[in-house]
Structure 1
Amino acid sequence: MSNGETVTADTALPRPVNYIADAWSDCEAVRDDRDAWNIDPNTRQPVHRMATTAPRDVERALRHAERVYGVGRWDEEARRERADMLERVAALIEGRAEDIARTDSLTSGVPIGVTRKVTAFLPARIRATAADLLSIPRVRPLAAGGRDVRLYKVPWGPAAILTPWNGPSFIPAAKVVSAVAAGCPVILKPSEHAPGSAQLVVECFVEAGLPSGALQLVHGRGDVGAALTGDPRVRIVSFTGGPAAGRAIARGAAEDFKVLQLELGGNNPALVLDDADVEVAADGIFDGMTKLNGQWCEGPGKVLAHRSLLDPLLEALTERLSKVVVGHSLDEGTELGPISNAPHFATLQSRIDGLRSLGATVHQPARLPELDGYFLSPTVAAGADPARATAELFGPVVSLHAVDSDEEALRIANSNPSGLDAYVFGGDAERAVEVGSRVLAGEVRVNGAKIADLGDDSAQSFWGPAGLGGHGPAESVRVFCGDRVVGVDSPELPL
């Protein structure tokens, strides 16, 4: 199951292979340009050629998903069987946690200490879905005056799941477990920049004893994703990634009215009110812009600070950034690793140059390692026109802008809304929450920038350009199932 040349002797990265129709099979190597390689972001050394899937194999996967789809049995015994299978998946992932964390780190550039924490959460996410399988009935009676009327939660059908490079293991695991629990036959295509972590996760699902066709894996770039998402046999598409690809998926899906879950990100605003504690705000913004190397779609991007706090906030941020340990992602002492891949590294440099051209003063105080990787000092670009600083940054970069009131901050934040996340920092928590409730975003965090859900029932919608749908608890039935009402009619109904 090899795929092209191996350039480095000890990459610890699995070569991409497909899993189609219940069997592992070789991919094809992309050979159409010089950049068609998976690269170690710490050294810029090639690891292996990028993989792709031939059209005939994409077709095999689609045929198999269509063949195995059915409404299925969802009584208590059937749900228990599938929940037990997911428990086995969780245990297998626990046993491979270090391999997954290392692959995540070498793929995304995120420090190994962080990817270990992310990987440690995977079993909990899978077990939570197993618990949903047991606690959420898939058939329940409806009040109908004594007649037999039932509400069924029915899997939509074959699901195409396309995942990005910035959450190499967690995003595929979270989406796949929800779809598998729902009963949708899944075809997973991870980012061409992050094939290895998703493959390790799929191996755990396969070893746990999935039903035939419940999960297939194909590798490739946008052409493979387009072949999946545009095919009429696919009934639901779950995609996390860039807005251009998201719009293309939405246009293609409109042809046969596919169900869509599109998480597209944006330039998330952070509002620093005039009563904010500068140290608290600096801690939160620093945490958000460096977490996962800043490569997370919910991280802060455009900081709108009250004019009276602008200079002290800039000083506090640059002081924190100057102390960040930037280094090889596998070094235990590294706090910020390299940017994941060459295209995104170039994009970030272009974004910083763009802010500079808008009048920003660029602050990059961190010391970079003597390595030839995609290393970038965490950056604060202060002073650009906020109305023109609208591009998503998606890295250890924020733009900083002065405002004179809450209303001005809200006007700027909402004139080019992210729609995904926002942040408010203020001394009066009640006031900060009230301001946050007026930001056009699916989630607004006050005085912090963590990733974990704010509350047990934190269901988050994607507003405006952030995409379609949302995510939150009970994802398997909220996203991957549709409602079907079946029951006995009555001549006594009024119409």
Structure 2
Amino acid sequence: MNTDAEVTHMSSGETAIPRPVNYIADAWSDCATVEGQWNLDPNTREPVHPMVTTGPDDVERALRHAERAYGVGRWDDEARQERADTLERVAALLETRAEDIARTDSLTSGVPIGVTRKVAAFLPARIRATAADLRSIPRVRALAADGRDVRLYKVPWGPAAILTPWNGPSFIPAAKVVSAVAAGCPVILKPSEHAPGSAQIVVECFVEAGLPAGALQLVHGRGEVGAALTGDPRVKIVSFTGGPVAGRAIARAAAEDFKVLQLELGGNNPALVLDDADVEVAADGIFEGMTKLNGQWCEGPGKVLAHRSLVGPLVEALTERLAKTVVGHSLDEGTELGPISNAPHFATLQSRIDGLRALGATVHQPARLPELDGFFLSPTVAAGADPAKATAELFGPIVSVHAVDSAEEALRLANAHPSGLDAYVFGGDVERAIEIGSRVLAGEVRVNGAKIADLGDDSAQSFWGPAGLGGHGPAESVRVFCGDRVVGVDSPDLPL
């Protein structure tokens, strides 16, 4: 199937999202329709396209093709340069599709178009960074061995199943796929059934760039399709970003044949506001974190543990900011906060707010909502619930605020139910804030801010505790998707 004939690029005035199609065994093919199920525009709840799935026979075809495509291959300088050149072509093609990606992201995640354009503009840089890794990181290097020939090989694990969520519909698939493809793992990508469109555009760019046969396949569907992939012994590594229930199911299935796992599961990320914090700085950071990407990002702040003397001023400062937030249609240029991505998550967030209210919280929802029948929710501050019981991940434009009497109490509460992914510390004494941050059970702790970009050039981040397994960061292609293999000449002079 020629996707140029099947998929219409969206002009600046169009809002349609094409029906998803699969890419299996180096060819495009139609998906099966899920009876009575539709993907909805979160701004209006109007149907966009039927929800689709992939049947068992097509999943089997994809698995067989990935298995046939795998081989250690040659990874000398010339081969790595060839693969890097292909990724450079991917990056150039993504630049030509940036507006398509931004509009599709916005219409599936509900994130304002001004934000999704920034995400789409960053994708080529992410691809080019991996191309640079391919050129600079050798796949074979000599080890010190008293003059004997001993070599360390970086070898792709094998066929990779990559499952991505609806909240990062273009960036997460692009970042994971480029790392696995650069490693040499044949990839089967399954994006979220709630936001399949952007991942399909990303795959189109990889295919058009001229990847080797079998390097990348795309299948659509719900959890049963993901389970068929992740439970199959031909898949050697699973990379998943999503909820803890699915993550645990993947981990249990992977234990049968000891698959390599990269599981990013998230949690209720704590924000510690110390007694010497600047309230305005803390309010700015927490507000940015809870509204960025509509609050729908796994590293965003959720549980604010503020010194008792600062709770009142902090809640007031946050409420003032929320009241001024422009909530509207995700494609409107002036919108600052769009709708929640999909109906199930909208219901979950409403349940979370009701749960905080039942725990004794006073709920502040000051923003004005648009006169649209979408999944709109005022950014919310819930203050005063029992912090020991407010443990559920919020994953939306919501924070709970809790009073503590000391930094030690804040640490104890943060670590009692750790997120394991991200945390935040706000304090006037930066040295003290960093020291306290180093004791929070999380892979990354940000001081006096809540940006998404990596804190430093080598900001490798581990997933601690319930946040999952593995981690992410620089040189992901060889850190995650390759294993070490030592090959060399033995010696009778070795001691044992």
| Fold shared, TM-score > 0.5 on shorter chain | yes
Distance 2:55 2:208 in 1: 25
Question: CA offset at residue 367 of structure 1?
Answer: 0.1
Distance 1:289 1:468 in 2: 25
Distance 1:379 1:102 in 2: 26
Question: CA offset at residue 227 of structure 1?
Answer: 0.1
Judge conservation of contact 1:229–1:237 (CA < 8 Å) in 2: yes
Alignment partner of 2:318: what SS? helix
Judge conservation of contact 2:302–2:394 (CA < 8 Å) in 1: yes
Q: CA RMSD in A?
A: 2.2
Distance 2:122 2:296 in 1: 18
Instruction: Give the corresponding residue for 1:3.
Output: 12
Gap runs ≥5 in structure 1: 6-10
Alignment partner of 2:114: what SS? helix
Judge conservation of contact 1:86–1:208 (CA < 8 Å) in 2: yes
Change (3 A) 1:35 1:304: farther
TM-score (norm 2): 0.97
Alignment partner of 1:36: what SS? strand
Q: Which of 30, 37, 47 is the aligned partner of 1:26?
A: 30
Judge conservation of contact 2:104–2:197 (CA < 8 Å) in 1: yes
Q: Which whole-Å deviations, capped at 9, do the CAs of 1:258-292 have from their partners, x for residues lacking one?
A: 00000000000000000000000000000000000
Change (3 A) 1:3 1:371: closer
Distance 1:248 1:54 in 2: 21
Judge conservation of contact 1:305–1:400 (CA < 8 Å) in 2: yes
Q: Which whole-Å deviations, capped at 9, do the CAs of 1:129-153 have from their partners, x for residues lacking one?
A: 0000000000000000000000000
Alignment partner of 1:257: what SS? coil
Question: CA offset at residue 392 of structure 1?
Answer: 0.2
Question: CA offset at residue 98 of structure 1?
Answer: 0.2
Q: Which whole-Å deviations, capped at 9, do the CAs of 1:206-231 have from their partners, x for residues lacking one?
A: 00000000000000000000000000
Question: CA offset at residue 454 of structure 1?
Answer: 0.1
Instruction: Give the corresponding residue for 1:291.
Output: 292
Judge conservation of contact 1:4–1:29 (CA < 8 Å) in 2: no
Question: CA offset at residue 4 of structure 1?
Answer: 24
TM-score (norm 1): 0.97
Distance 1:68 1:190 in 2: 21
Change (3 A) 1:3 1:447: closer
Distance 1:282 1:321 in 2: 10
Alignment partner of 1:50: what SS? strand
Q: Which whole-Å deviations, capped at 9, do the CAs of 1:385-423 have from their partners, x for residues lacking one?
A: 000000000000000000000000000000000000000
Change (3 A) 1:449 1:4: closer
Question: CA offset at residue 3 of structure 1?
Answer: 24
Question: CA offset at residue 82 of structure 1?
Answer: 0.2
Is residue 223 of structure 1 aligned with residue 227 of structure 2?
no
Alignment partner of 1:298: what SS? coil
Question: CA offset at residue 48 of structure 1?
Answer: 1.1
Q: Which whole-Å deviations, capped at 9, do the CAs of 1:165-186 have from their partners, x for residues lacking one?
A: 0000000000000000000000
Change (3 A) 1:103 1:454: same
Judge conservation of contact 2:181–2:187 (CA < 8 Å) in 1: yes
Distance 1:35 1:154 in 2: 45
Alignment partner of 2:366: what SS? coil
Judge conservation of contact 1:108–1:340 (CA < 8 Å) in 2: yes
Is residue 208 of structure 1 aligned with residue 212 of structure 2?
no
Alignment partner of 2:36: what SS? coil
Question: CA offset at residue 14 of structure 1?
Answer: 1.9
Judge conservation of contact 2:18–2:49 (CA < 8 Å) in 1: no
Judge conservation of contact 1:80–1:133 (CA < 8 Å) in 2: yes
Alignment partner of 1:82: what SS? helix
Distance 2:12 2:340 in 1: 25
Alignment partner of 1:408: what SS? helix
Distance 1:48 1:430 in 2: 52
Instruction: Give the corresponding residue for 1:181.
Output: 182
Judge conservation of contact 2:265–2:298 (CA < 8 Å) in 1: yes
Distance 1:434 1:493 in 2: 45
Instruction: Give the corresponding residue for 1:456.
Output: 457
Alignment partner of 1:35: what SS? strand
Judge conservation of contact 1:4–1:48 (CA < 8 Å) in 2: no
Instruction: Give the corresponding residue for 1:78.
Output: 79
Change (3 A) 1:458 1:227: same
Distance 2:242 2:173 in 1: 12
Judge conservation of contact 2:156–2:482 (CA < 8 Å) in 1: yes
Distance 2:482 2:36 in 1: 40
Judge conservation of contact 1:420–1:442 (CA < 8 Å) in 2: yes
Change (3 A) 1:411 1:35: farther
Distance 2:12 2:331 in 1: 25
Alignment partner of 1:25: what SS? strand
Instruction: Give the corresponding residue for 2:7.
Output: none
Question: CA offset at residue 12 of structure 1?
Answer: 2.2
